Amino acid sequence: MKKKQQHGGGECPAPWPPAAAAAAGGGPGQGGGFLRRRPLSLLPFLSLRDYVFCMATLLLFCLGSLFYQLNGGPPHFLLALRHCLGNSTYLDDHGPPPQKVLPFPSQVVYNRVGKCGSRTVVLLLRILSEKHGFNLVTSDIHNKTRLTKNEQMELIKNISTAEQPYLFTRHVHFLNFSRFGGDQPVYINIIRDPVNRFLSNYFFRRFGDWRGEQNHMIRTPNMRQEERYLDINVCILENYPECSNPRLFYIIPYFCGQHPRCREPGEWALERAKLNVNENFLLVGILEELEDVLLLLERFLPHYFKDVLSIYKNPEHRKLGNLTVTVKKTVPSPEAIQILYQRMRYEYEFYYYVKEQFHLLKRKFGLKSHIRKPSPRPEFFIPSPLETEEPINDEEEDDEKWLEDIYKR
């Protein structure tokens, strides 16, 4: 009896019968049965006919998808099939889709102008940041608005790396983030009548506010007593440095920027400030119309300012807000006020420009401008813009488009 042939320590498989080999597509001696069956070994449950049918179906599906795209729509038979099955849509089952949400600005800078209601707004922001969960970034530096190039780079880096969404606030002149390779944030600000701002600052430096008379001692510890009690009319009429330029040229640099010429009273700084307002500021409001400013901020930046007006009108907040009112203010003589107007002519031209833009914005959103008795103005100023008396509704449909354009800047 012959011994069985050993191969690698095991028995060799018995050869396929000739009939099986022929059915697999090969002949004896060619190994056709084993080699030709290999491509289908991954799908052992499909016959060759089933495999061909699947491939043909896939090809038809691809051709159908191509036909759909080339003709810009579904084939007619699919539309007819939908008609037969019913016209149920996503809206029927799930209701209307959520209202369109505009692109959300996650970086906001409030480079607040001094003595323009900024402490009141910061109090509101502290409440709102806890309520809405955004990151309120403040600064302990209050008296450094002009920065060197390195200081600008360092501050922009610190702001840009803050956790988003953030709102950064500080007394600082406009910063051009894109100049240093950063993403330009959305800017907001508030200004007020320049003479009123100057008077508020003049007496605040000397006597503080209702939070405590010791505050002014902390801010101006080296001020001599004769300077602290200097009569405002004497300061203006005798041209003391505090009551003359360039100290009176205060508001425009917050919008002009860090260029040295932004600190020089003149047309160049004025025009550059106007340009930045148009290109980089979402809103520049007027303190005399603060409630309307808050309404527009809530409309433009709801993630930050939702419910801000109700918080502002809350009696508890009113108590805190009243503590920030400057004390011991007196009104200069008409002669002194006229001199201030002459020295602050560029400040007033900018103020009335911003006020005009603000009233146009209020008209666009259907808000009334409160007509108040105008303060005296010198003759060289352009007439104040017409103020809105009635809301206008025919432009409301463009509101979202206008906001989209702002966010794309």
- Is the pLDDT confidence value at 143 over 90? no
Q: What is the pLDDT of residue 225?
A: 87
Does the annotation count 76 as an active-site position? no
- Is the pLDDT confidence value at 287 over 50? yes
SS3 368: coil
Q: What is the pLDDT of residue 2?
A: 46
Q: What angle do CA 112, 402, 91 make, to 5 degrees?
A: 120
CA contacts within 13 A on the Cβ side of 325: 9
Q: What is the pLDDT of residue 40?
A: 46
SS3 137: strand
Instruction: Name the pairing type of β-strands 6-7 and 166-169.
Output: unpaired
Cross-strand partners of 167: 108, 136
Q: What is the pLDDT of residue 387?
A: 35
Q: What is the pLDDT of residue 171?
A: 97
Residue 233 contacts by C-beta under 8 Å, 6 or more apart in sequence? 332, 333, 336
- Is the pLDDT confidence value at 67 over 80? no
pLDDT in tens, 1-57: 444 444 444 454 555 554 444 444 444 444 444 444 444 455 566 677 877 888 888
Mean pLDDT for all residues in the chain: 78
Q: Name the burial class of residue 320, with classes exposed (0-12), middle (13-18) and buried (19+) by CB atoms within 10 angstroms of its CB.
A: middle
Q: What is the pLDDT of residue 31?
A: 45
**Cβ-contact 294, 309 below 8 angstroms:** yes
In whole angstroms, what separates CA 409 from the centre of its chain?
A: 10
Average pLDDT over residues 262-276: 98
Give the DSSP letter of residue 390: S
Q: What is the pLDDT of residue 74?
A: 59
Structure tokens at 57: 């179906």
CA 401, CA 100: separation in Å to the nearest integer?
Answer: 12
Cross-strand partners of 393: none
**Residue 189 is which amino acid?**
N
Largest CA distance in the chain: 138
CA 55, CA 251: separation in Å to the nearest integer?
Answer: 75
**Range with top average pLDDT, 27-31, 179-183, 219-223:** 179-183
**Residue 380 is which amino acid?**
F
**Cβ-contact 159, 128 below 8 angstroms:** no
Class of domain 107-193+251-328+346-365: alpha beta
Q: What is the pLDDT of residue 390?
A: 34
| pLDDT top residue among 124 and 390 | 124
CA 210, CA 120: separation in Å to the nearest integer?
Answer: 13
Structure tokens at 381: 């100023």
**Cβ-contact 265, 246 below 8 angstroms:** yes
- Is the pLDDT confidence value at 250 over 50? yes
- Among left, alpha and beta (phi > 0; psi -120 to 50; other), residue 95 is left
Q: Name the burial class of residue 334, with classes exposed (0-12), middle (13-18) and buried (19+) by CB atoms within 10 angstroms of its CB.
A: exposed
What pTM was computed for the model? 0.67
Q: Which of 7, 132, 171, 317 is catalytic?
A: 171
Percent of the chain with pLDDT over 90: 52
CA 169, CA 162: separation in Å to the nearest integer?
Answer: 12
Percent of the chain with pLDDT over 70: 64
Structure tokens at 157: 């880096």
